[in-house]
């Protein structure tokens, strides 16, 4: 399967190995207006490949950014979880790096300044780099964060370095995988980092992608899927050393790496060495590891398509919750469309009234779903829940389902069916990541006798 001719995005080696071909698909975020339904929809090859030379997993097609981001929608605020995580990280770094009034922190893809604001509050100078002009403007005007509106690369880094803008800390969260000129980006970080500075970079982890069969995170905006081994080789080529690594439970499982100037003689911590060894053991450098993934995706497709066809054969109507980019990859690759599915619902009013890319399913507000008991068992369960909710000693009902997910919606429907009113209180996890964090911090609840 060595028919890929494009060189590796990282090391430039010429022989990439194809792992999984998702065919030609439309852009996952390009929802269609009713008028656009009649037009031919542009599609692009979506092929996942592996570089046997540097272990980087990557897609082989680069869609020009102006086509990719033709509708860059600004999400007005980050979830509480994201903000809390940012604040914790900032406090950790301020202490660990002894940052003060003479320090400078730069964030690449700084968005509306959600992270830099915590440095600014501690009187540490910051500079945001955010290519989306409307979002950079929000950072400047609403948060007072110094922000330049440009794409980051070696040339911008050179200009900033010449102006004396060298960083003690550089943040780059969830941006490296989107960058077409990977080497220019990393060379830029090397130029911009003070000799004793540190770059803190977060990327989705390819091991989690493979283990959880998260093939639906593959779309044209995500060019690279990193292992620590691939990152290590990339950064070493640019005189940077990965000093520390953490696995963090965001975006389906990510790596957070801390990078320093190799010339300063910084060393990898045991955590880095251990994870590199672990990766060698699971076969990070072998195509076989990734090709098993392709087989798992095919199994998943067969199972889901069979399930949907069975439901359809029983005369069921099937709708989809969430018009997401992931959903677009899944539906287009699995070939599941209007023959099987009736419609999609989404909370975002921007998406309502549009159609899904490729599959052309209409998108409605969530109230298009109706709560209907399909069988006597469901009716009995619903009645039991209703009785519980109406007990005299229940003075408070809390919706603790994941916010913005189907569970929250199901809760609301059940509550309304019992009380004929909307639920007024929720106290749950603002998103799935917070639920995962909470689950990972469960304390030992077993009884231990006090030491004598």
Considering beta carbons, is residue 5 or 35 the nearer one to Zn ion?
Answer: 5
The answer to whether residue 54 forms part of the interface with Zn ion (CB under 5 A) is: yes
**Shortest Cβ distance from residue 233 to Zn ion (Å)?**
8
Name the residue among 398, 409, 331 with its Cα closest to residue 365.
Answer: 409
Cβ 271 vs Cβ 245: under 8 Å? yes
**Shortest Cβ distance from residue 56 to Zn ion (Å)?**
5
Considering beta carbons, is residue 89 or 234 the nearer one to Zn ion?
Answer: 234
Considering beta carbons, is residue 30 or 231 the nearer one to Zn ion?
Answer: 231
DSSP helix/strand/coil, 44: strand
The answer to whether residue 60 forms part of the interface with Zn ion (CB under 5 A) is: no
Name the residue among 70, 89, 57, 102 with its Cα closest to residue 293.
Answer: 57
Considering beta carbons, is residue 52 or 404 the nearer one to Zn ion?
Answer: 52
**Shortest Cβ distance from residue 264 to Zn ion (Å)?**
26
Considering beta carbons, is residue 231 or 344 the nearer one to Zn ion?
Answer: 231
The answer to whether residue 8 forms part of the interface with Zn ion (CB under 5 A) is: yes
**Shortest Cβ distance from residue 89 to Zn ion (Å)?**
30
**Pattern 235-274, Zn ion, x by CB under 5 A:** ----------------------------------------
Alpha-helical runs (H) found in 215-336: 228-237, 270-282, 287-313, 325-334
**Shortest Cβ distance from residue 58 to Zn ion (Å)?**
8
Near Zn ion by CB under 5 A: residue from 2, 3, 7, 13: 13
Neighbours of 220 (CB within 10 A): 22
User: What is the distance between the alpha carbons of residues 267 and 261, in angstroms, rounded to a whole number?
Assistant: 10
Name the residue with tokens 């803008």: 165
Q: Concatenate the DSSP letters of all residues of 333-383 into one string.
A: HHT--TTT--EEE-S-TTTTT-B-TTT--BEE-GGGS-----SHHHHHHHH
Considering beta carbons, is residue 54 or 136 the nearer one to Zn ion?
Answer: 54
Query: Contacts with Zn ion in 292-331 (CB under 5 A)?
Result: none
Considering beta carbons, is residue 10 or 103 the nearer one to Zn ion?
Answer: 10
Name the residue among 133, 115, 97, 263 with its Cα closest to residue 191.
Answer: 263
**Shortest Cβ distance from residue 285 to Zn ion (Å)?**
11
Name the residue among 185, 190, 175, 203 with its Cα closest to residue 260.
Answer: 190
The answer to whether residue 20 forms part of the interface with Zn ion (CB under 5 A) is: no
What is the sign, positive or negative, of the torsion defined by CA atoms of 301, 206, 59, 86? Answer: positive
Kindly state the tokens that stand for 99: 């940052």
Which of the ranges 45-53, 206-214, 255-263, 276-284 carries the binding residues for Zn ion, by CB under 5 A?
A: 45-53
Near Zn ion by CB under 5 A: residue from 53, 143, 368, 405: 53
The answer to whether residue 108 forms part of the interface with Zn ion (CB under 5 A) is: no
DSSP helix/strand/coil, 274: helix
Which of the ranges 54-62, 145-153, 259-267, 374-382 carries the binding residues for Zn ion, by CB under 5 A?
A: 54-62
Tell me the β-bridge partners of 147. Answer: 128
Name the residue among 252, 338, 333, 249 with its Cα closest to residue 297.
Answer: 333
Q: What is the β-pairing status of strands 193-204 and 254-261?
A: antiparallel
> Considering CB under 5 A, how many residues would be counted as binding Zn ion?
8
Give the interface with Zn ion as residue ranges (CB under 5 A): 8, 10-11, 13, 51, 53-54, 56
């Amino acid at each position: 399967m060595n028919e890929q001719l494009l060189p590796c995005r990282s090391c430039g080696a010429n022989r990439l190995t194809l792992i999984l071909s998702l065919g030609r698909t439309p852009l996952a975020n390009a929802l269609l207006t009713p008028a656009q339904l009649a037009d031919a929809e542009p599609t692009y090859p979506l092929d996942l490949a592996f570089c046997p030379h540097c272990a980087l997993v990557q897609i082989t097609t680069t869609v020009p950014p102006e086509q990719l981001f033709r509708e860059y929608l600004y999400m007005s605020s980050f979830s509480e979880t994201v903000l809390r995580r940012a604040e914790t990280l900032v406090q950790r770094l301020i202490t660990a790096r002894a940052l003060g009034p003479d320090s400078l922190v730069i964030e690449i893809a700084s968005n509306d300044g959600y992270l830099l604001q915590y440095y600014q509050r501690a009187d540490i100078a910051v500079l945001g780099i955010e290519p989306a002009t409307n979002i950079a403007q929000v950072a400047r005007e609403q948060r007072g964060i110094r922000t330049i509106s440009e794409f980051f690369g070696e040339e911008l880094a050179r200009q900033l370095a010449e102006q004396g803008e060298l960083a003690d800390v550089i943040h780059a969260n969830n941006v490296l995988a989107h960058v077409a000129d990977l080497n220019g980006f990393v060379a830029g970080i090397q130029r911009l980092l003070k000799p004793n500075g540190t770059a803190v970079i977060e990327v989705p982890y390819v091991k989690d992608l493979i283990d959880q069969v998260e093939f639906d995170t593959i779309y044209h905006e995500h060019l690279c899927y990193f292992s620590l081994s691939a990152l290590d080789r990339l950064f070493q080529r640019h005189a940077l050393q990965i000093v520390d690594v953490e696995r963090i439970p965001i975006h389906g499982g990510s790596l957070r790496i801390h990078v320093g100037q190799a010339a300063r003689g910084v060393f990898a911590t045991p955590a880095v060495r251990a994870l590199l060894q672990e990766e060698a053991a699971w076969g990070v450098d072998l195509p076989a590891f990734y090709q098993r993934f392709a087989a798992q995706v095919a199994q998943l497709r067969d199972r889901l398509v069979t399930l949907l066809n069975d439901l359809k054969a029983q005369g069921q109507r099937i709708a989809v919750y969430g018009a997401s980019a992931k959903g677009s990859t899944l539906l287009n690759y699995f070939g599941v469309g209007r023959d099987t599915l009736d419609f999609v619902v989404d909370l975002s009013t921007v998406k309502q009234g549009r159609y899904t890319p490729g599959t052309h399913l209409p998108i409605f507000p969530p109230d298009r779903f109706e709560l209907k008991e399909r069988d006597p068992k469901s009716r009995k369960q619903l009645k039991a829940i209703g009785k519980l909710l109406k007990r005299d000693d229940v003075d408070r009902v809390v919706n603790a389902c994941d916010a913005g997910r189907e569970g929250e919606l199901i809760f609301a429907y059940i509550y309304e069916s019992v009380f004929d009113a909307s639920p007024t209180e929720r106290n749950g996890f603002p998103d799935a990541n917070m639920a995962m964090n909470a689950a990972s911090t469960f304390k030992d609840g077993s009884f231990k006798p006090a030491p004598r």
